[in-house]
Amino acid sequence: MDQPAQKIIASRGAQMFPTLAPDQVERLRRFGELRRFEDGEAIARVGRPGPGVAVILSGEVAITQRDRHGAPVPIVVHGAGAFMGEIAQLSGRPALVDADAVGPVEALVLSPDHLRALLIGEAEIGETIMRALILRRMGLLETGAGGPVIVGHADDGEVLQVEGFLGRNGHPYLRLDPDQDEEARVLVERFHLAEDELPIVLCPNGDLLRRPSITELGRCIGLRPAIDPERLYDVLIVGAGPAGLASAVYAASEGLSVLVLDCRAFGGQAGASARIENYLGFPTGISGMALMGRAYTQAQKFGADMAIPCEAVRLGCSGGIVTVELDAGESARARTAVIATGATYRRLGVPGLDRFEGGAVHYWASPIEADLCKGRAVAVVGGGNSAGQAVVYLAGCADSVTLLVRRPLEETMSSYLIERIAGLPNVEVVTGAQVEALEGEGGALDAIRWRLRDRGTEVRRAVEHLFLFIGAEPNTDLLRQMGLEVDDRGFVRTGASCDTARLPLETSLPGVFAVGDVRSGSVKRVAAAVGDGAQVVASIHAYLARQREKAEVRPVQTIALPV
């Protein structure tokens, strides 16, 4: 097994692979189905939906992962009282490891529905199981086990897009570069691939995708499930950022059926933050990915359905039902909808920007981008906290970081970040700068040019990667088609600002609510978005109660009797 997985097992093995006491196993019997497996029988296979979490009653189960050659690598052997599974079993997605019976095995198998019921009904045992499932996924992420294999060049924009999608959705993967890996060269030759056919993705189920879209990849690895067009949800949430995930957690925990859609990944802009240090309850800080990953798992624990990547292309209301048409020709229905589409990244107004986006120009700083920047010169544009967090993060791997801002940092950035940046020897802050041009060929960035506004002089600097954190605009293209009222900046009006009869956070369309950054008057902070997500559920309950009252009021039919 690869060293990273050995590391996490060595440090947290007891939590990853706990053994339940006999009385705890007995308490779980009401949640599971008793099943028997013969010696050598496959209980789970990579790429195929598994039976769920299985608590071993007798016998042993060998858990293995596959290396880059497809050979089995041992992880652990479960005995009586142990349980097999990882976080994928919470939602019934394909397994990321192989599980085989060693001798006759008797096990208590918990389907995803029953597993979620257990986590809520037996909180103490549920905490032990949930922690183990999460830690096991962390081990798989470190080795890439069970995920797709990407064959392509490390600096290819399409490769970065695929890596970003998988990384931000917490899904393991391996990348093989034909320039560095013999296995990649063998695959290129085996499939007779031309350079313009890269990247390819080998899915765990055996499918090969050539230059896949994110939607194609999501379906292939089981992240994007089929949506039942006949099912009527209580709440349909568009957007899986902090506001959308908070709405999902609170709505699902209160017994409402919930479907969450997002066209990219869970977490939104917050999920791309290298470190959040001013969120209540985390005095040492937490990465945006870790915080949002917990919220994503929490929503699934309470039974919320997730469809990612899944883009809503049209939304309409009729007869008290909200219908959403999706990018793949599917549709979803609900009694209410929550718009949590957040904001879109503002782009720099310089010629040729699109030639560098995805490869050398970035809108977030994740470990993928950090790896590209090792030992290189980079620049960051923006004076807010997101830019400051990116500078601090990138300074740990880049050779030099140039921060370009229009105004003094004291006017736009939190003091703790300003102080931290001031202590970084490889960071230069340039105030009063406006980027005017990018230089480079073939998508590779060579240099940027900016103008100093106070002096009018132009400066050129060799830079290989540029990070843009220059604010965002409301992501309301979908909403304008519906005729939702927006303010003069394009943010969605809610509550009394559009109609005194509206519930808090309800838009100009009855039963459609807006939360988070997309809402007019919202405070653009993670905590505020989470607050919106909690508050909107109270309004949803009130709206559904009104609808029930209307349905119960029937006109009295009078019959004329003959005289």
The pLDDT tens digits for 155-167 are 888 999 999 999 9
Same domain, 289 and 400: no
Same domain, 319 and 365: no
Residue 346 banded pLDDT, cuts 50, 70, 90: confident
DSSP for 44-66 reads E-BTSB---EEEEEEEEEEEEEE
> Looking at the domain assignment, is residue 308 inside a domain?
yes
pLDDT at 154 (0 to 100):
86
pLDDT at 527 (0 to 100):
94
The pLDDT tens digits for 411-469 are 999 999 999 999 999 999 999 999 999 999 988 999 999 999 888 899 999 999 999 99
List the CATH number of the domain containing 198.
3.40.30.10
Is the four-CA dihedral 194, 264, 474, 500 of positive or negative sign? positive
Same domain, 486 and 463: no
**Does residue 475 surpass a pLDDT of 80?**
no
**Does residue 145 surpass a pLDDT of 90?**
no
User: CA of 214: how far to CAs of 9, 44, 177, 309, 311, in Å?
Assistant: 32, 26, 20, 7, 11
415, containing H or E segment: helix 415-422
Q: How far apart are CA 351 and CA 33, in angstroms?
A: 62
Q: How far apart are CA 455 and CA 237, in angstroms?
A: 49
User: CA of 498: how far to CAs of 277, 295, 519, 543, in Å?
Assistant: 35, 31, 12, 17
Is the four-CA dihedral 20, 26, 28, 29 of positive or negative sign? positive
The pLDDT tens digits for 275-292 are 888 899 999 989 989 999
For the record, the structure tokens of 97 come out as 């490891």
The CA-based angle 195-198-201, given to 5 degrees, is 155
Least confident of 44-53, 115-124, 128-137: 44-53
Same domain, 27 and 132: yes
pLDDT at 480 (0 to 100):
67
Q: How far apart are CA 12 and CA 138, in angstroms?
A: 11
> In terms of pLDDT, which residue wins out, 270 or 243?
243
Q: Partners of 519 in the beta sheet?
A: 492
Q: How far apart are CA 110 and CA 97, in angstroms?
A: 17
**Domain end point (choices 220, 254, 281):** 220
The pLDDT tens digits for 478-494 are 666 677 898 888 889 99
Same domain, 51 and 196: no
**Does residue 561 surpass a pLDDT of 50?**
no
**Domain end point (choices 197, 220, 243):** 220
- Crossing angle of helices 288-301 and 112-121, in 10° steps, is 100
List the CATH number of the domain containing 136.
2.60.120.10
Same domain, 371 and 442: yes
pLDDT at 3 (0 to 100):
38
> Looking at the domain assignment, is residue 556 inside a domain?
no
The pLDDT tens digits for 209-254 are 999 999 999 999 999 888 999 999 999 999 999 999 999 999 999 9
Same domain, 30 and 113: yes
517 and 529 Cβ atoms separated by less than 8 Å? yes
For the record, the structure tokens of 401 come out as 């970081």
Same domain, 463 and 407: yes
> Looking at the domain assignment, is residue 225 inside a domain?
no
Residue that has been written with the tokens 């085989």 in this structure:
100
pLDDT, averaged across the chain? 91
List the CATH number of the domain containing 531.
3.50.50.60
Same domain, 239 and 316: yes
193 and 200 Cβ atoms separated by less than 8 Å? yes
> Looking at the domain assignment, is residue 183 inside a domain?
yes
**Does residue 355 surpass a pLDDT of 60?**
yes
- In the chain, what percentage of residues exceed pLDDT 90? 72
Same domain, 127 and 186: no
Strands 232-238 and 258-261: parallel
Q: In sequence order, what E strands does 340-432 have?
A: 343-345, 361-362, 377-381, 400-405, 427-431
Q: What is the number of other CB atoms lying within 10 angstroms of the CB of residue 297?
A: 20
**Does residue 556 surpass a pLDDT of 60?**
no
SS3 375: coil
pLDDT at 2 (0 to 100):
39
pLDDT at 71 (0 to 100):
84
**Does residue 558 surpass a pLDDT of 90?**
no
Residue 6 banded pLDDT, cuts 50, 70, 90: low
Same domain, 51 and 102: yes
**Exposure pattern of 473-505 as b/e (b: 16+ CB <10 Å)?**
ebbbebbeebebebeeebbbbbbebbeeebbeb
Q: What is the mean pLDDT of residues 499-503?
A: 88
Give me Rg for the CA atoms of the chain: 26
What domain range includes position 42?
Answer: 3-143
**Does residue 562 surpass a pLDDT of 60?**
no
- In the chain, what percentage of residues exceed pLDDT 70? 96
Q: How far apart are CA 456 and CA 449, in angstroms?
A: 12
> Looking at the domain assignment, is residue 561 inside a domain?
no
Residue 555 banded pLDDT, cuts 50, 70, 90: low
**What is the total count of domains within the chain?**
4
**Domain end point (choices 193, 220, 247):** 220
